[in-house]
Amino acid sequence: MKNNSNPNLKRVIVDFKKLTPEILAMVVDKFPDGYDDRDVITFKNANYETVEAVEIITEDTKYLVKISERLEKVMENYDEGDYEDYDDDDPEAVQDPFS
């Protein structure tokens, strides 16, 4: 992960339904013990709703991953082996832990 000094980064907001194994792995790598209040970014979306997210920056993209109970549960139970049979960019791979 890189610093955010590049103003030309592509910006992507990711909610749980769009969470891929690759992005989940980056979140778990950056926050292995979970995130806390100082890691959370708060902003208004296009509908003027308040959104809380954590930031993941790669070489070319800044991801804002929306915080939710589902994200926290999946992070707690993360095992890289659970995603071996999926493509890194498959949003169907990360299953809802409450269903």
* 8 A C-beta contact, residue 11 and residue 64: yes
Distance of alpha carbon 99 from alpha carbon 97, whole angstroms = 6
Q: Which of 56, 54, 59, 71 is nearest to 19 (CA)?
A: 71
Query: How are beta strands 50-57 and 61-66 bridged, if at all?
Result: antiparallel
Sign of CA dihedral 48, 50, 55, 56: negative
Percent of residues, the chain, with pLDDT higher than 90: 89
Beta bridge partner(s), residue 51: 43
Q: Which of 93, 3, 89, 74 is nearest to 34 (CA)?
A: 74
Q: What's residue 5's pLDDT?
A: 61
- pLDDT (tens digit per residue) in 17-63: 999 999 999 999 999 999 999 999 999 989 999 999 999 999 999 99
